[in-house]
Structures are given as C-alpha cells and as structure tokens.
Structure 1
C-alpha cells in the first residue's frame, strides 16, 4: 500500500489539493494500492476558498513507496505566507532523506525550499512566483515556463491545474502510460501534458487582449483549425476589411492570422505525437497536407 500524504498549509488552494487527490483516488479505484491522508499543524486548516479542511496533526512514519504532496496556497508573494512548523519541515526532509518522494504544487515549492530540498536541484513554480523563488533559494535552479520538473525525487509543478499533470506523470511512472491515460479519461481531462509543456497554451497566450473583433476572428480560426482560411473569409466573419483584419490581429496578438493558425496546429500536433501518433498522422489530423510543413514549423 502506497500512502499519499498531503501536507496542508493555511490558505491552501482547493484545486492544488483536489487535482492530485482525485488522480490518486482514481488510481486506487483502478489499480488499487493507494491510501490518501491529510496532515497539518492543526486539525482544521482554512482553504483560500473558504472551505475548512480536516487534517491530523500526527505526522505518520513513511517508507520509500510513499509520496508527500504540498499543495500551494494564495500567495501574490511568497515571503511571509504559508506558515508551517519546524516539526513538519523536518518530517518532510526526513522522508526525502530516507528515499521517499516529495512533490509540490505552485507556492508549495517554497515549503520544499524551507526544508532545504531545492538547493542544487532543478525546480519550478507558478510563473508569477518564479522570480521570487529564485531570489529566496539562490542555490536552486528554477526552470521557467514548464509544467513540472522532477529532480532526485523532488517534484515541483507550476500551480493549480498543473498538479493534475504532475500526479498523472507519477502514476505513469509507476503503472505505465495506459493507466495514466485511463485515469485522465475518467477525470475528463482533455490532454495529459508533459512536464516541459509551456504553462500557457498558444490559445491562452494570445487571448489576453480586449479586442472583440480579433476574438471573433480567433473563434473562427479555432473552430476551423484544419481548414484553409482566406483573409476574405475572416474579414466577412469580423465584419471589416481584409486590411483591417491584418492590422487589428497583428496589433492584438503580434502575428498574422495564418501564423496563429499554424501555431495552434503545431501545438495540437505535438499533443498527438506525445500520445503516440506518427508525425505524418499528426500532420494530416491538424490540417497539413503532409509532414514537411509540420517538421519545418516544429524546427523553429
């Protein structure tokens, strides 16, 4: 039996906790052999969303098969947040020293840092906290804009939903990718992402503007990803001229509509390849006539 122990910090984000917990709960249903436990410095731990969480203050004795997760908490800045006792930090460090695996989601990386587990290791956290984590732990090697990083049984993730990706990866390492994929399907997860995937998708990176005309154009491109779209068609959908489409789209996103469609296609193709598709099959499925264009775009 593998115990997955969640170390709860006041102000914990519910999804930082619930995502990995659901993965291992589903693993227990599918393959068995997992139990979930929740520990903290007090028996009632407030979440940032207002739901009080029950925990035990007794820190269990663990073996090398067990996992300890530290979910993140609300933290525009890390300093002065996430209070945790020296006793809990020593317990966390002892588990790793004994051969166990420790993991964090978002600001939870700071707890691993306080326990001395980030020094000399690669790690990551939410993109808004990376600079501060680097300043607080100058001997750590902070990897930017990735979903999760594993280094010598210290596993850190970007935050919020990336905790699901991290947990699925740990399940895949223990039980194989088919089991992880089955759990992802059970959870209705759209895609099981790799650790080096960027924290923000192409869609999210170019949807932060406020131009409604460009949003309408993007809606058309995304809904017809595999189609050849002319500027004339996009202009009709946007209710403006072709020249205006090009000007507004470039100003809002920094690229042309064609480049945006290509970027979406490449990202989707990368996902298909990661799921086992050949480059040729992935290229056809996302709208390229053959794999040559996909290879050229990937090489960029």
Structure 2
C-alpha cells in the first residue's frame, strides 16, 4: 500500500537520513523471523522515513539460500560491500536447531562474527530473533550480557555459553546496542520497538495498525508508550481519533470538533472511545500530555515551552498534571511533580 508522505508529530519523529537495515539470511532461516521485521521496516519507509534494506548471507559467496520451509532467497549481497554507520541496524534471524548444533557450521561463521564485532564497535545496533542469539554468542558479542532466545533453547544457550546472562520469559532483552528476542513473532515486537526508538511512538503505532499487529509485552520489557497502549482494537474511527488527538495536542482540540471529523456526535464518540479503549478521552489526552512533557523536558526544553506544546495555558497546569500521574513519570522528572 502506498501511503505517500505522512505528516508525523514533530516532537516524536526522529529524522535520520537514509537508515540502513541489514537482514542476514543464514541457511535454513525461519521465514517469519526475517520477513516480519523486514516488512515492518518496509512499512515505515512507506510512511516517508528513509530506510534502505539489504539482504545478505552469512557466507559472502552464497547468493542463494534455502529457508527452513524450502522457499529460497536469491541475489543476496556481500555484507562486506555495505558501509554501515552508527545507529544503522543488523537483524539476525533464527535458523534450524540442527545447524546450530553443528560445530563445523559455527566455525565457518568466524569471518561473519568478526564483521559483526567490527560493526558493533562502530555503533551499529545488532538485533537477533529466536535462535539467532546463538550466532551473536558465537561471535562473542553476548559475553557478560543479558540476553534471551526461544524458550526451547534457553537452557541450551546458557549451557553452551556460560558467560551469558540468559533470561527466560522475556519477549526481548536490551543490552546496550544489542537486542535479543524470543521466538518468531517476538521479532515483530522488537522491530516495532526499534521503529519507535528511531522515529517515535506515533509512527510505530501507525505501522502496527497497518499490519494489524499490536505489541504483546510483559512487565519485564521496556515500558509501552502511550501511543502504543490502548491500540489493541480494530475500531478504525477510534484509531483516527487517537491519531488526531496525538498530532493536535498543542491545538487543545475540543470534543465536538474531533467528533465531527469522525462523523459522529460528541456523545457517541465519548461512549465508543471508552468502550473501545477502556479509558475516557480526557484520560487519554492527559496521558498524551504527560508523555510529551516527559520527552520534551528530558531533551532540555523549558517548562514554559513544554506546557505550550502540551496545549496547556500555564506551567502550573503542567505541574498539576505531572503530580496527578507522578507514578508513571521517569525518575528524573519525579521532582517536578
């Protein structure tokens, strides 16, 4: 679907020209591990951000790889030909366990592991999905780090690499600029999180909505943004209202105007919003304001500028709002409440 350029919330869009994303294709790769994250970055690019994707084999001589379900990848590039920069991303998907148990195969990945270490030293973000964590471990990138993998291989990863801090019951684990995720679909959650970190929560919510996938995170995972919360529904009118509220926060929109744009009455919108999301429109707007305030103040904006950007008339109103939601504030902002 061609979305064209989309006007995104200025405060949450982090523009970075021509991000490069490299998707590694190991032999017997699990399709969803690679296709899920790759498609989400495609959707992000379709919304107007600049993403250039590459697909490369572990062995540069391989230009055609058979997946675990017999679908083939061809015309793969040599990863050595890609000049990566800080904050570019490498995704390493899972592959059949029998290959990971083959010591000959693991030894054959030495050159690839060296390349990964060089990219990590340059500031490139490295992400693994499912058993892709074994390839990071073989490269020595997970030594002493917290990490995770598919639940069936948690014990095996810990036993094979005892210096790792392997965690179970996690969708994904962040350790510096290295991310590891659990099985298959968790790569989609990780890709959404990366999109949120790169270009903001509004875009991440739009991409999630586009592919009809919503985050499924546990208490041990990074806190879900307000832009990603209350979105696990298929009511298109409410999605549009949520987008309008997020993008027009500084305009202090009134309920009648928003309801009119959604082609319903204010009373009907109020009822439908509460029934769909579980909270009122007022509570939702408050949460939007608190998150924007936390973001802006964290980046050094003045309290006065932050209040205006949140659609508030005074700094006292902002302080009252932060006090009301004090429990949800980052620690560095608790003193403001």
TM-score interval, normalised by the smaller of the two chains: 0.5 to 0.7
State the Cα distance separating 1:75 from its structure 2 match. Answer: 1.5
- Distance between the aligned counterparts of 1:103 and 1:118, measured in 2? 11
Deviation digits for residues 22-56 of structure 1, max 9, x if unmatched?
11001111132111101111100110010110212
Q: In 2 relative to 1, CA 195–91 (structure 1 residues): closer, same or farther, beyond 3 Å?
A: farther
State the Cα distance separating 1:100 from its structure 2 match. Answer: 1.2
- Distance between the aligned counterparts of 1:46 and 1:277, measured in 2? 50
Q: In 2 relative to 1, CA 77–50 (structure 1 residues): closer, same or farther, beyond 3 Å?
A: closer
CA contact (8 A) 1:11 1:47 kept: yes
Q: Which runs of 5+ in 2 are unaligned?
A: 1-17, 222-276, 285-337
Equivalent residue, structure 1, for 2:215: 192
CA contact (8 A) 1:126 1:159 kept: yes
Q: In the alignment, which of 20, 39, 42 is matched to residue 3 of structure 1?
A: 20
Q: In the alignment, which of 73, 81, 84 is matched to residue 62 of structure 1?
A: 84
CA contact (8 A) 1:78 1:132 kept: no
Q: In 2 relative to 1, CA 195–166 (structure 1 residues): closer, same or farther, beyond 3 Å?
A: farther
Partner-residue secondary structure (3-state), 1:129: helix
Equivalent residue, structure 1, for 2:96: 74
State the Cα distance separating 1:195 from its structure 2 match. Answer: 6.0
Q: In 2 relative to 1, CA 51–180 (structure 1 residues): closer, same or farther, beyond 3 Å?
A: same
Partner-residue secondary structure (3-state), 2:52: strand
Deviation digits for residues 73-111 of structure 1, max 9, x if unmatched?
121684217655322111111101111110000010001
State the Cα distance separating 1:72 from its structure 2 match. Answer: 0.5
Q: In the alignment, which of 158, 162, 166 is matched to residue 186 of structure 2?
A: 162
CA contact (8 A) 1:101 1:153 kept: yes
CA contact (8 A) 1:181 1:192 kept: no
Deviation digits for residues 213-272 of structure 1, max 9, x if unmatched?
xxxxxxxxxxxxxxxxxxxxxxxxxxxxxxxxxxxxxxxxxxxxxxxxxxxxxxxxxx97
State the Cα distance separating 1:65 from its structure 2 match. Answer: 2.3
Q: Which runs of 5+ in 1 are unaligned?
A: 199-270, 279-300
- Distance between the aligned counterparts of 1:272 and 1:149, measured in 2? 29
Q: In 2 relative to 1, CA 272–37 (structure 1 residues): closer, same or farther, beyond 3 Å?
A: farther
1:53 aligns with 2:70: no
TM-score normalised by the chain length of structure 1: 0.63
- Distance between the aligned counterparts of 1:170 and 1:277, measured in 2? 27
The within-5 A match list for 1:1-300 is 1-40=18-57, 41=59, 42-54=62-74, 55-59=76-80, 60-75=82-97, 78-80=100-102, 83=106, 84-189=108-213, 191-194=214-217, 196=219
- Distance between the aligned counterparts of 2:85 and 2:278, measured in 1? 37
CA contact (8 A) 1:77 1:129 kept: no
Q: How many residues align?
A: 204
Partner-residue secondary structure (3-state), 2:183: coil
Q: In 2 relative to 1, CA 44–272 (structure 1 residues): closer, same or farther, beyond 3 Å?
A: farther
Deviation digits for residues 131-180 of structure 1, max 9, x if unmatched?
00001111110110110001011100002111000000001111222111
Partner-residue secondary structure (3-state), 2:216: coil
Partner-residue secondary structure (3-state), 2:70: coil
